[in-house]
A and B are shown apart, each in its own frame.
Chain A
Amino acid sequence: MKILVCISHVPDTTSKINFTDNDAEFDKNGVQFVINPYDEFCLTRAMWFKEKQGATVTVVNVGGAETEPTLRKALAIGADDAIRINVAATDGFLVAKELAAVVKAGSYDLVLAGKESADYNGQMVPGMLAAFVDYNFINGCVDLEIDGTSVAAKREIDGGNETVSTSLPLVIGGQKGIVEEKDLRIPNMRGIMMARKKPMQVVEGTGVVAATNNISFEKLAPKGAVKLIAADNLDALIDLLHNEAKVI
């Protein structure tokens, strides 16, 4: 089985979000970038398939050279090789279409992507990619088993989950559950050493034109001060929620 894991390179979850150039650009100053948390779950699941069922695992990112340390980290976790598509990832449509070219060229059986990326939260790449390559697609996947080309999976739905069956080739939008938190892998020394020698292929894009463009950003409006209510005066809280906030 040939697996491709799509890796989005995103600000660490604790990052303070600021903008420069008149709020037109995200301020990367002092921001630490990491593998998108959802993609980490997917990568760990891919490693499981590799070790238990025999699979090759390629990681891919659409982005500039600055994303290579993130791809190296994925290699240190255990992926066999990496591809960087040398295009600025400005829009989900563009990213998905560039990824589609790599998926087709490599005839991957299984493409694992995260449900959403922690930067622009597009929640669009996996579904668009599946549509471009005409693979089966399961979004919000929380359980994935593969036997030959048969697939049994679960996806999250409002208030529960749905069991589905399908077949390879397949694109997954994965989230926590596809593996558990405790099973996430952290690169060890040996992995980091080995990652340095693993192949990192840089391919040029196919010239896709973005369909959307973020022209400016806004921070959240500053919040007013909290109204504190004494613990022995909960009637006041109920009164405020009813008469002032009008939510109960």
Chain B
Amino acid sequence: MSVLVFADSTDGKFKKTSFEVVSYGKKVAEQVASNLVVLTINANDASELYKYGAAKVIAITNDALLTFNAKEYAAVIVAIAQKENATIVVMDSSINGLYVSPMVAVSLDAGYASNTVALPSSTDPFTVKRKAFSNKAFSNTIISSEKKVIALAKNSFGIHENPVAGILENFDVQVAASGVVSEKVERVTGKVTIADADTVVSAGRGMKGPENWGMIEELASVLGAATACSKPVSDLGWRPHGEHVGQTGKPVASNLYIAIGISGAIQHLAGINASKVKVVINSDPEAPFFKAADYGVVGDAFEVIPTLIEKLKAFKEA
């Protein structure tokens, strides 16, 4: 019996969430007294995972899997889960992870708990805590099937070092082509994505117009942050749709979330609640966002942001 973790990589490099799912899988394996097995696909250096407790790594290198394909990845994960007799499969909650996980669950006839935020509170019955109601609450969920698939919510468990002398097994798989073919991948390069970012700088209608986003981008660049926006801002076409965060937009689970000129409507907060530290900059002291924030500055963004940029630059240089 084993716990299988899929550690995803982009262009051969692990994402931070991969270290997080391995850290988590290590603890789950201890709880259920099983071995941890970690699967990588086309990763450059799978041995990086030993540091987080991956005692056994199965590394697949296969050109047919260079471009992500959900059905093909699901088939590989299922094949390895069967080979390793895995009773629990742990996945990350990236866009790709969430695409693959339900397919893996069906193939393994496993119950699936997405949005999991903590270690199982009990292993019999197997119970996990999950985000629910768009981050407004948690549910405690029993998975009653023999096999289980868990998708761990980003930044909910953290990365924990747990070095082991791991072993690496290179493995080859036959990949049956899926009916969905990737034609083109368009990605903004050189920009931190909301999904990956530790810090997100987000701005709302208080910025008055798209011409004023220069200072938002500059603040983000000083902090190495991704930029985001409220829904009306993307609906008005001031910013691209991919930046819309909130209940109906992208979820944000960063360490630091800075909201500028955003009132803090319930639908906005629902999507960003999972962020650890929230800073609000708003000219209206009555803005509801202040109730949900850790730190607040009541002030005009057009004065506060340029000063903040200067001071942060000085701080970074010091």
The interface of chain A, by Cβ under 8 A from chain B, is 11, 13-14, 17, 19, 26, 37-38, 91-93, 96, 118-128, 130-132, 136-140, 142, 152, 156-167, 176-177, 181-182, 210-220, 223-224, 226-231, 234-235, 237-238, 240-242, 245, 247-248
Contact = CB atoms under 8 A, between A and B. Distances in A.
B98 A139 contact: yes
A92 B295 CA distance: 38
B99 interface: yes
Interface in B69-101: 70-71, 74, 94-96, 98-101
Given A14-B266, A212-B113, A241-B295, A131 B107 contact: yes
A166 to B, nearest CB: 4
Given A124-B112, A229-B297, A247-B277, A159 B193 contact: yes
Given A127-B99, A163-B185, A218-B129, 15 more contacts: A120-B139, A121-B133, A123-B114, A124-B101, A124-B105, A136-B179, A137-B180, A139-B98, A156-B242, A158-B94, A162-B184, A166-B180, A214-B132, A220-B135, A245-B277
- The SS class assigned to the A binding surface is mixed
Interface in B99-134: 99-103, 105-107, 110-115, 127, 129, 131-134
25 contacts: A17-B137, A91-B111, A118-B133, A121-B115, A127-B106, A132-B106, A137-B70, A158-B94, A158-B193, A159-B191, A159-B193, A163-B184, A166-B179, A177-B241, A211-B145, A213-B142, A214-B132, A214-B139, A215-B127, A215-B142, A220-B136, A237-B297, A237-B308, A242-B315, A245-B294
A97 to B, nearest CB: 9
B141 A212 contact: yes
Given A177-B241, A211-B111, A238-B315, A118 B103 contact: no
B144 A212 contact: yes
Contacts of A231: 297-300, 303-304
Interface in B137-159: 137-145
A122 B188 CA distance: 29
A225 B147 CA distance: 43
Contact of A228 (B112, B181, B297): B297
Interface in B187-239: 187-188, 191, 193, 195-196, 198-199, 223, 235
B132 to A, nearest CB: 5
A158 B139 contact: no
Interface of B: 70-71, 74, 94-96, 98-103, 105-107, 110-115, 127, 129, 131-145, 178-188, 191, 193, 195-196, 198-199, 223, 235, 241-242, 244, 247-249, 255-256, 266-267, 270, 273, 276-277, 279-280, 290-300, 303-304, 307-308, 311-312, 315
A17 B127 CA distance: 22
Contacts of B98: 123, 139
A107 to B, nearest CB: 17
B191 A217 contact: no
Contacts of B145: 211-212
A118 B74 CA distance: 25
A128 B295 contact: no
B69 to A, nearest CB: 9
Given A217-B140, A226-B293, A237-B297, A164 B304 contact: no
Contact of A212 (B111, B193, B235): B111
A227 B100 CA distance: 41
Contact of B185 (A124, A128, A162): A162
Nearest to A245: B277
- The SS class assigned to the B binding surface is mixed
Contacts of B273: 220
Nearest to A153: B180
Contacts of A158: 94-95, 187, 193, 195-196
B183 A217 contact: no
A75 B129 CA distance: 37
Nearest to B143: A212
B199 A219 contact: no
A130 to B, nearest CB: 7
Given A124-B105, A124-B112, A139-B98, A38 B187 contact: no
Nearest to B308: A234
A164 B101 contact: no
Contacts of A14: 266-267
A38 B294 contact: no
Contact of B102 (A131, A166, A167, A218): A131
Given A240-B295, A247-B277, A121 B114 contact: yes
A157 B181 contact: no
A58 to B, nearest CB: 23
A128 B98 CA distance: 11
A212 B99 contact: no
B256 A245 contact: yes
A230 B138 CA distance: 35
A211 B114 contact: no
A158 B315 CA distance: 30
B154 to A, nearest CB: 11
B66 to A, nearest CB: 14
